[in-house]
Structure 1
């Protein structure tokens, strides 16, 4: 993307050089019209500068979008290959070895977890595409949000930590019902919890709270991970946006999760805010 910028700036320099040259020639030929020539030149420079700034902004936006799409393709490739390689290895082991039933069931459970991971990835990509194309209608129904959050937490829970420490500590007020798109809101909860796990150290606690307050329903997902810089908080809900480059980033992800979260919540007239956790990490709070 450097070549277009070189051509762009070279064209600007050439145009300004021509303007100065022709201005000099006109003033030499008609010195009595100096004021008119300078006025016209000033107006031309102003219009030219505004056009150049607008064009530069558009080219820069395209460059960033190109880089984000490149990062997205790299991350999706990694996200797909990792669980597929894991599933293939487990199935090959089951097929080639005479395993005990307990060990075989353990391998099958791990395969199912990887399949759920792939399913979440595909659902995110499809939902993001439908939202972008405005082809998703967000069908509304009355449902139990408490049961939905509890189901997501149980699916993502990991208990294989030292001293039987639970990774997700959930405080869910029972029988909270809302009207909304159950599928899309399930994606919201999943993305928020997965993000908290993703950017936390292994076996670091993630806190999920669902409760009523002042007539509103609050969902909080807090982690003790790496946190989010203040300069990044305004952009984390942009499509494809992720901090850094896929070539150097260790955390998995596609840059679609928080974009989907924001778009779905906007359709439900709900708000989401992010703040720093103490002593470290981030807190995402959704208010219905």
Structure 2
């Protein structure tokens, strides 16, 4: 992608040089029109440079999007292969070895966990596509958000660290009801909590709170993970964007989760804010009006 930029800058420099040369020729031919020629030259240069600036921003944005899409394809490939390889290994082990009942149950549970990972990935991809193409209608109904958050927490609570401590600490106020699209809001809660778990070290606690305050419903997800730099907080809701450098990033992901979160919350006229946790990590706070 560097070659188009070189050609672009060359053309801008060439155009500016030509304008100056034409201006010099006009001044020589009609010295009395110096003020008019300088004025016209200034207007042409201003229009040219403003257009060049916006064109540069557009090209650079397209270049970054192309890079993110490339990284997205690589990430999706890895996200698909990892659970599939795990499921295949468990099934082959069950087929080739004489396991007792408890071992079989344990292997089946692990296979189901990997299947849930695949299901979440596919759901995110389908939902992101529908939102992007504006084909999803967001059907709304009144439902119990407390039960929804509790269900997601319980499902993700199976993630336990080596010291066998629960990593999700939930404080959920009962009977919190809102009106919205239950399907997409489930994806919002799932993505926020899963991200917090993903970017936290083993045995680090993730705190999830749901409560009412001043006629508003607040959902906070706080982790003690790697945190988010201020320069990246402006971009984390962009499609395909992922925190960190692609060469050094070790966490799994596709860059669709927070994009879906922001788009869904916008459709529900809800806000989401990010702030630094203390002493480390990040806090995502969702507010439903």
TM-score interval for Structure 1 and Structure 2 normalised by the shorter chain: over 0.9
Distance in 2 separating the partners of 1:39 and 1:179: 60
Does the 8 Å contact 1:75/1:252 carry over to 2? yes
CA–CA separation in structure 2 for the residues paired with 1:227 and 1:189: 19
| Alignment partner, residue 142 of structure 2 | 142
Kindly tell me the number of residue pairs found equivalent between the two proteins.
288
* Aligned residue in 1 for 2:66: 66
Aligned to 1:126: 126
Instruction: Provide the TM-score with structure 2 as the length reference.
Output: 0.95
CA RMSD of aligned residues (A): 1.4
The alpha-carbon distance between structure 1 residues 74 and 6, as it changes in their structure 2 partners (threshold 3 A), is: same
Distance in 2 (CA, whole Å) between partners of 1:202 and 1:119 is 24
Query: In 2, are the aligned partners of 1:71 and 1:245 still within 8 Å (CA)?
Result: no
Cα distance, 1:163 vs structure 2: 5.1
> Is 1:171 matched with 2:165?
no
- Give CA deviations for 1:130-157 in whole Å, capped at 9, x if unaligned: 1111111111112111111111011101
Matched, 1:205 2:191: no
Segments of structure 2 that go 5 or more residues without pairing to the other structure are none
- Match in the other structure for 1:94: 94
Alpha-carbon distance in 2 for matches of 1:20, 1:180: 61
Contact 2:163 2:203 (8 Å CA) reproduced: no
What SS does structure 2 have at the residue aligned with 1:209? strand
Measure the CA separation in 2 of the matches of 1:214 and 1:105.
47
What is the match of residue 251 of structure 1? 251
How far 1:91 sits from its partner (Å)? 1.1
For the residues of structure 1 that align with 2:22 and 2:162, how far apart are their CA atoms? 78
Runs of 4+ in 1 over 4 A off after TM superposition: none
How far 1:203 moved relative to its partner? 1.6
What secondary structure, in the 3-state scheme, does the structure 1 residue paired with 2:231 have? coil
Q: TM-score if structure 1 supplies the norm length?
A: 0.96
Do the aligned partners of 2:228 and 2:281 also contact (CA within 8 Å) in 1?
yes
Residue deviations 1:39-66, cap 9 Å, x none?
2211111111111112111111111111
Deviates more, 1:192-201 or 1:159-168: 159-168
Distance in 2 (alpha carbons) for counterparts of 1:65 and 1:162: 38
Gap runs ≥5 in structure 1: none
CA distance in 1, matches of 2:8, 2:246: 28
CA deviations on 1:94-128 (whole Å, 9 max, x unpaired) are 11212112111111110100000010011011111
Rounded to whole Å, the distance in 2 between the matches of 1:179 and 1:160 is 33
SS of equivalent residue, structure 1 residue 134: coil
Cα offset, 1:159, TM superposition: 6.1
Aligned equivalents of 2:165, 2:28: Cα separation in 1: 85
Residue aligning to 2:237: 237
The corresponding residue for 1:106 is 106
Shift of 1:34: 2.0
Q: Distance in 1 between matches of 2:285 and 2:124?
A: 21
1:205-284 matches, cutoff 5 A? 205-284=205-284
